[in-house]
Chains A and B, each alone.
Chain A
Amino acid sequence: MTAKFDFARVTQTTVRDLVEIFGPSGVSVDREKVTAYSKDEVALHLWDKEYTADVVCFAENTEQISDLMRYANDKKIPVTPRGAGTGLSGGAVPAFCGIELSLERMNKILEFDMENLTITVEPGVVTAEINKAAADHGLLYAGDPCSGDASFIGGNVAENAGGNKVVKYGPTGNHVLGMEVVLPDGSVTWFGGKRRKDVTGYDFVHLMVGSEGTLGIVTKIILRLLPSSSFVVDLLVPFADVKSAIKAVPAIMTEGKSIPSSIEFIDKQSMLLTEEYLRTKFPFSNEADAHLILQYEGNERERLADEIEKIGDICLKQGALEVFVADNRTVKDKLWKGRKSVAEAVWAHAPIQVSNEDVVIPASAVADFMRELDDICHGAGVKYAAYGHLGDGNMHVTLYLEGETPGWREIIGDVRQKLYTIVIKLEGTLTGEHGVGLKRAAYISQFLDDAQIDLIRRVKLAFDPNNILNPGKIVPWE
């Protein structure tokens, strides 16, 4: 399929027209600002060139976005939607310049529906605020990405963000019931609604989820809420070696006879870097090659305590060095602050000469994956930190080199390729929750066959015939 990248440039007239739509305070051409809004959390030096939009717009409502898309579609100017900029795949990076559309001003919780157990929000609401608002009503919004204190729900939907509770509740897409969408031609439609069942037409809701802002701009989101549990207990479980940590999980699930809401994995290197970053200590950080975090929920304190004892004993039987129990806010905060800071800690330690991976492997193959990862890194003299959502086989692996290493791009690139080869061999995939975006588009053909890649392109052009919405993402076009 031929690519369409013959875009118009943004001119002074364009900016004037945009001011017509968004008002003077809704448009900025200030270089500093435009540059800032053209990045996400992928380090700049990892791009082969500088991607900077020409103008950034701040939408306040659906109508403005509809007007914008009609205009941009007509003029053939690329539009890149952006949430909080916490993305890790360059999804919000304007690959073809043009207009960067920030949704940060659409940040209202619109409705709490206690009868249907839904919450309707705008895309710019910070995820943690939804968690908190739900909790204030005695309910649970089960989306819980590690970036939740900063990321927007719109971005979570676009990337189908996963996080810490996927093993029990599924990723963001599982919680999305409906959405208002502005299509690339400016038309506004609703996919889904407050309904729990819907086979009237294609399931566009779940096509939109994880489409990385390439098919339409989500302007309202209806999320499913669940009753929240009265008590939540976390376990921190150190293991002497990685293999026994990973092998313990099936036993925990089957013998434990209950699904934890989280099964998180932190390897020794990640733990040590986190300790350094937070200037705190976690138990057994030097003795254990791996730590697991398990989370259990329940409505009766004593029953949950019984369950925790049982699970803890299983862990010890599986070779855990110790089992720590966090059942109050003080200890839980420390535990989860640790887990949620791992990415920042690794980033702070290795800001350049890195590659951040987000691979997924079937749960049964994680132990093999970790062994092979260790082998290839060791062989190439590359360091790594691995952590992630063990319950869903989603491992975040940061490959890095310390000191100044000439030719580091090639060395790391080589290891990354070897890593991908292993992932493919183990029937895993490229990215679990960070997305393909711009960063991984060149690698997707190793993971998907031609038929599927071609289908992705055709779906894209069915939604967006002029290819103006977030062009150049997910699959290679040229």
Chain B
Amino acid sequence: MLRDKSCVDGILVCGEIRQNKIHSVTKELLGKAREIAGKMATRVTCLLICGQLDDMPEELFCFGAERVIVASHDKLEYFNQEITAKILSYVVEKYLPEVILAPATTSGRTYLPSVAAMLHTGLTADCTSLDIEDGSGLLLQTRPAIGGNVMATIKTPNHVPQMATVRPKTFRMPEKHVDGNGEIIFLDIPPSLLESRIEVIGKEYASETVSNVQDKDVIVSGGKGLRKAENFNMLHELAELLGGGVGASRPTVEAKWIGYPHQIGLSGRVVSPKCYFAIGISGAIQHLAGMQTAQKIIAINKDPEAPIFQIADVALCGDFKDIVPVLINRIRREVI
């Protein structure tokens, strides 16, 4: 939609619901929305599109939402991108937000583009920082480009809403306020929105170790340097010990040593955990782009010249087969 000052109101945060629970990225986005709402002198609304909801939506008031819209229907037990997009479009037309922030998850990265196309507005994927431009009050959306080698700042000058997706763990979880309160709206969903050309047949949930590397505080990743598939076992052991997930470089996924959901990098998942172990990963640009925002990077590699060492906090130069078991034992001593 072309911008029309009279009909835009506030920031809308799209919540992420997984297995009937509010996912933490929702709160991370609310924290950021709160911050920029201050600069825009506007309010923050959170939209939850879900089947059942086990969590209390009121909880979100403590994280920066002033209003929560709950669009809940049995048909949404599993994610349906078509219905979700239609509901979001409907909410936008009804409440006219100026800015929409959404999680850059597999679902957010699916229905947000649909909505941007339907509403004819801009959408910036995978933003790593958001701000408000002085004067214009426009949303400044910064994202990595060319494999993370440059940061591009983008704005949407003439269209509304201004839309951006953000990966989990990009922004810090805000402090929880005890006295949060606000308005809850249970959306009356017009039946036409629930019609879909997509039938969701079912969902197999992944085991805990496989699922969701993006959500982990620790990621233990392996590369070609592991030499063979079996050596990933050692990484699984280390990851499990630290309550983390296992990641992998593209060549190992291409060699089918490990499944695609584990792939970190430009053509896989982009992560920013607290701690990232890169084991036997030389550090191709394509991989670095997927993990260089981790708080701490620990690299283990035989080659002292491996590019991964240039971005590591701790560089252990040697054969992973010598180092990883020692590390595992050392940690085991600590946790037991």
With both chains docked as a complex, state the minimum distance between the C-beta of A153 and any C-beta of chain B, in angstroms: 15
A278 B228 Cβ-Cβ under 8 A: no
Give a binary string over B81-110; 1 marks a CB under 8 Å from any A CB, 0 the rest. 000000000000000000000000000000
A278–B229 CA distance with the chains assembled, in angstroms: 9
Confirm or deny: A46 has a beta carbon within 8 angstroms of a beta carbon on chain B.
Answer: no
From A126, A279, A280, A344, give the contact of B229 (CB < 8 A).
A279
Q: Are A348 and B228 neighbours in the complex by a CB distance under 8 Å?
A: yes
Which chain A residues numbered 335 to 367 have a C-beta less than 8 Å away from chain B? Answer: 344, 348
Interface hits, A126-153 → B, CB 8 Å = 126
Q: Is B171 an interface residue (CB 8 A)?
A: no
Q: How large is the interface on A (under 10, 10 to 19, 20 to 34, 35 or more residues)?
A: under 10
How far is it, in angstroms, between the C-alpha of A348 and the C-alpha of B257 when the chains are bound?
14
Contacts of B254 in A (CB 8 A): 280
Interface string of B210-253 (1 = CB under 8 A from A): 00000000000000000111000000000000000000000000
Least Cβ–Cβ distance between B199 and chain A, in angstroms = 33
Does residue B333 face the partner (Cβ distance < 8 Å to A)?
A: no
Name B285-315 residues within 8 Å CB distance of A. Answer: 303
By CB atoms of chain A within 10 A, which of B227, B229, B254 has the most?
B254
Given B228, B255, B303, which contacts A280 in the complex, CB threshold below 8 Å?
B255
Those of A238-286 within 8 Å (CB) of chain B: 277-280
Cβ contacts under 8 Å, A278 to chain B: 255-256
Minimum CB–CB distance from A230 to chain B (whole Å) comes to: 24
Instruction: Decide: A279 and B255 in contact? CB cutoff 8 A.
Output: yes
A279 contact set on B, CB distance < 8 A:
229, 255-257
Task: Give the distance in Å from the alpha carbon of A294 to the alpha carbon of B135 in the complex.
Answer: 64
Complex alpha-carbon distance, A73 and B254, angstroms: 51
Give chain A residues whose Cβ lies under 8 Å from the Cβ of B228: 277, 348
State the Cβ distance, B49 to closest chain A Cβ, in Å: 39
Q: Across the interface, name the chain B residue whose C-beta is closest to A129.
A: B305
Question: Shortest CB–CB separation between residue B220 and chain A, in angstroms?
Answer: 21
CA distance in complex: A13, B93 (Å)? 87
Which of chain A's residues have a CB closer than 8 A to the CB of B256?
Answer: 278-280
Contacts of B257 in A (CB 8 A): 279
> What per-residue 1/0 map shows which CB atoms of B312-323 lie under 8 Å from chain A?
000000000000
> How far does the alpha carbon of A277 sit from the alpha carbon of B255 in the complex, in Å?
9
Instruction: Using CB atoms, name the residue of chain A closest to B303.
Output: A126
Contact mask for chain B residues 252-266; partner A; CB cutoff 8 A; 1 contact, 0 none: 001111000000000
Q: Which residues of A contact B229 (CB under 8 A)?
A: 279
Q: How far is the CB of A413 from chain B (nearest CB, A)?
A: 29
Closest chain-B Cβ to A36's Cβ sits at a distance in Å of 8
Contact residues in B for A348 (Cβ distance below 8 Å):
228
- Enumerate chain B residues within 8 angstroms of A344, measured Cβ to Cβ: 227
Chain A residues within 8 Å of B303, by CB: 126
10 other contacts beyond A278-B255, A279-B256, A280-B256, with CB at 8 A cut-off? A126-B303, A277-B228, A278-B256, A279-B229, A279-B255, A279-B257, A280-B254, A280-B255, A344-B227, A348-B228
- Residues of A near any B CB (own CB < 8 A): 126, 277-280, 344, 348
13 A-B Cβ contacts within 8 A?
A: A126-B303, A277-B228, A278-B255, A278-B256, A279-B229, A279-B255, A279-B256, A279-B257, A280-B254, A280-B255, A280-B256, A344-B227, A348-B228
Closest 8 CB pairs of A and B: A279-B256, A278-B255, A279-B255, A280-B256, A348-B228, A280-B255, A279-B257, A279-B229
